[in-house]
Amino acid sequence: MALALLCVALSAAACGCGHGSIDKNAPYEPNTPAPAPHAGLFVSDHGTMTFSGDGETVELDFDEDLAQRLGLPAGEQTASYEFRSGDLPPHGYVPVRYDAAMTFWLTVGPADGGTTVKIDIGTYEDGRFYTGTNCTTADRITFFVSGSDAGEDPEPIDFRKS
């Protein structure tokens, strides 16, 4: 019994559990209110996204390069959006709040016949990609977009609230 308790205590210590271990990358607190939807203008080197604040619609204005790499038309257009998890078998990608999202889905055109794209999101630090809890914030959404050429590493495209 004492050995079992020692194993549990050591496991908890190794996992960073307990007081004083909370950092900015800790998961959001369960059963807390979701953050307010994105609202306002977000700007990157490849265009803009203007969120209405309703948690559903966004005005896009992507340059030709980003639009082509995403498979969307270039220029100004209205889209619907949704933050989703990573692929969770057997359910697939499920809607989640943005501070827990791994993917960002955009639909341009009618929901039943438009173009929908899945974009991996997260952060890019020290030459590495990270995805998961608290990577997307109220002020930042970072896309990981495939390179222009086949075999090229994904490029981080950082949209920051203006």
**Lowest-confidence region among 13-17, 49-53, 90-94, 102-106:** 13-17
Q: Is the peptide bond before 90 cis (omega within 30 degrees of 0)?
A: yes
Structure tokens, 161: 């609230």
Burial of 42 (0-12, 13-18, 19+ CB in 10 A): buried
Q: Which structure tokens are listed for 8?
A: 């549990």
Q: What is the pLDDT of residue 150?
A: 66
Alpha-carbon gap, residue 119 to 84, rounded angstroms: 10
**What is d(CA 49, CA 41) in angstroms, rounded to the nearest whole number?**
6
Q: Would you place residue 131 in the very low, low, confident or very high pLDDT band (cuts 50, 70, 90)? A: confident
The DSSP secondary-structure symbol of 36 reads P
pLDDT in tens, 9-30: 334 333 332 333 333 434 456 6
